[in-house]
Amino acid sequence: MASIDELLKEMIQHDASDLHITSGAQPYFRIHGGMIPLAQYKVLTNQEIQGLVFEILSEKQKKKFVENWELDFAYAIENVGRFRGNIFMQRKGLGAVFRQIPEQVKSVEDLGLPRSMLDLINCDRGLILVTGPTGSGKSTTLAALINHINTHHDYHIITIEDPIEFVHKNNKSLVNQRELGSHTKSFSNALESALREDPDVILVGELRDLETISLALTAAETGHVVFATLHTNSAAKTIDRIIDVFPSTQQQQIRVMLAESLRGVIAQSLFKRADGRGRIAAYEILRNNKAISNLIREGKIHQIPSAIQTGAKQGMVLFEKSLDELLKKGLILRADAMAFLGKTDEDSGQL
């Protein structure tokens, strides 16, 4: 049976984004969005999964997994690459997923990010959210944006991650990267501490709870640029998600804070390329202006898509428009775009 290192090397050779190993199944690769079983390997038992995974964990990590039944961690193989791992319990025993993290941070130009994203991050304060489902490329986009800032501004950048994914070297900026479990006990502790560490830019890996969201809003209000991620599928749903985390008695206050401190939302999703050569991202971009700020303050979140459409000249775009552009260029399939938007052939509209 192959060691985990051998499987991860093979994963890179096949240009797979993820390796899945789970009790009662063969190993799987995720390649261009699809799950591909590795026919050359036999079905793995729980004991074999434990042997593969536990050999690369520290004693502290093993103890944490035994206590919590799940674990996030980073793993590196010299001259091969870096990986983000997650171990979990499932019906038949242990399971684990490893995601490949490119050694080199891709630039804004490499990713073909819209110019409006650079306009969005050209600020000295405010909350910028990058959202989308798991595996939608949020971390890659965030890394490119942080890399752009690091290249062009003399700032102090602090990242708080679980685990550290892309490694940023000091360029024009000074970058301090902190990892949950290794360098801090919680996102909220690290974020509260960051406010006393003279930052210009703070990246919070994920807004997981009320305390972290509240601290992120405070940091954005008090003169810092704060980047964070959420697992939401659109700009409007992102606003709703943040407000709904708080008790009803606090929601009006949070609407006011968000209306003032939000800089923008970048929602994204990946689609298979029409030629089968990988995947490409579609984006929804919201920039907080007076109209959107008023909608947030008044709780009229359902009107935000119309405001985004009206704000096209300011670089705002809805998913429907982004997908329409990709279709016109022949980069994605119409069926995939329609399925994402929940439309059928009978539906009218741009698509």
DSSP class of 261 = H
- Kindly indicate the confidence band of residue 350, based on its pLDDT and cuts at 50, 70 and 90: low
- Per domain, the residue ranges of the chain are 4-101, 108-341
Residues 68-95: pLDDT tens digits? 999 999 999 988 989 999 999 999 999 9
Amino acid at 231: H
**Sheet architecture: strand order including 174-179:** 174-179, 156-161, 201-204, 225-230, 126-131, 262-272, 279-287
Query: Is residue 347 pLDDT above 70, yes or no?
Result: no
- Domain pair 4-101 / 108-341, same fold: no
Alpha-carbon distances, residue 185 vs 112, 160, 203, 230 (angstroms) = 36, 11, 16, 20
The mean-pLDDT minimum among 17-21, 143-147, 208-212 falls in 208-212
pLDDT at 323 over 80: yes
- Whether the predicted pLDDT of 48 surpasses 70: yes
* pLDDT tens for each residue of 215-260: 999 999 999 999 999 999 999 999 999 999 999 999 999 999 999 9
pLDDT at 1: 41
Q: Tens digits of per-residue pLDDT, 127-143?
A: 999 999 988 999 999 99
CATH top class, domain 4-101: alpha beta
**pLDDT category of residue 343 using cuts at 50, 70 and 90:** confident
What tokens appear for 291 in the block?
A: 């109209």
Percent pLDDT > 90 in the chain is 87
Residues 6+ apart with CB under 8 A from 83: 8, 74, 75, 76, 77, 98, 99, 100, 101
Tell me the two tokens of residue 283.
């984006």
Q: Decide if pLDDT at 201 tops 90.
A: yes
CB 270 within 8 A of CB 280: yes
Q: What percent of the chain has pLDDT over 70?
A: 97
pLDDT at 72: 92
CA-wise closest residue to 220 among 257, 247, 186: 257
Q: What is the pLDDT of residue 210?
A: 93
Q: What pLDDT is attached to residue 170?
A: 97
Q: Does 2 score more than 60 pLDDT?
A: no
**Whole-number pLDDT of residue 300:** 97
**Per-residue pLDDT tens for 101-114?**
988 899 999 999 99
Which CATH code of 3.30.930.10, 3.40.50.720, 3.40.50.740, 3.40.50.300 fits the domain covering 108-341? 3.40.50.300
The 3-state DSSP class for residue 61 equals: helix
Question: Per residue in 269-309, pLDDT tens?
Answer: 999 999 988 899 999 999 999 999 999 999 999 999 999 99
Token pair 């999964």 is at which residue? 49
| Residues in contact with 190: Cβ distance below 8 Å, sequence separation at least 6, in sequence order | 160, 178, 180, 183, 184
Query: For residue 345, what pLDDT is reported?
Result: 65
The predicted structure's pLDDT at residue 182: 84
What average pLDDT does the structure give for the chain? 93
For the full predicted model, state whether its pTM sits above 0.95.
no
- Buried/exposed 227-250: b ≥16 CB within 10 Å, e otherwise: bbbbbbbbbbbbbbbbbebbeeee
